[in-house]
Structure 1
């Protein structure tokens, strides 16, 4: 039994979908880092527990 080879269109679509997923992830991480840096600057005396809670909330909001 031989495997069916993907058509050029299927390969192109698959690559485009992978690129879109990568771009989305990168955008989410960039937003996360930006928001986290802003939070740290606004809360210089935060406790480790406050920081952890904030980072988790930021990550959830940014989808990372």
Structure 2
């Protein structure tokens, strides 16, 4: 269970980081538009990747906090 949780946290962290990088590349010339962007939460990924529901949601939420 711990290995699965750590793997899911790493997966969510990397997905969120990739989306933030893509958003930065898209809006890097416009700092105001970049500040207004909303970033996804781990719950967004649970719709696409059902196996994320098998681990503790607080662990996934902490991945978002650590990324910020």
Q: Please, which runs of 5 or more residues in structure 1 have no aligned partner?
A: 1-16
* 2:31 alignment counterpart: 46
* Bigger RCO (CA 8 Å, 6+ sep): 2
* 1:14 alignment counterpart: none
CA RMSD of aligned residues (A): 2.0
Q: Which moved more, 1:38-47 or 1:26-35?
A: 38-47
* 1:27 alignment counterpart: 11
Matched pairs, number: 43
TM-score normalised over the length of structure 1: 0.55
Q: Which has the larger radius of gyration?
A: 1
CA change 1:49–1:42 in 2 (3 A) is closer
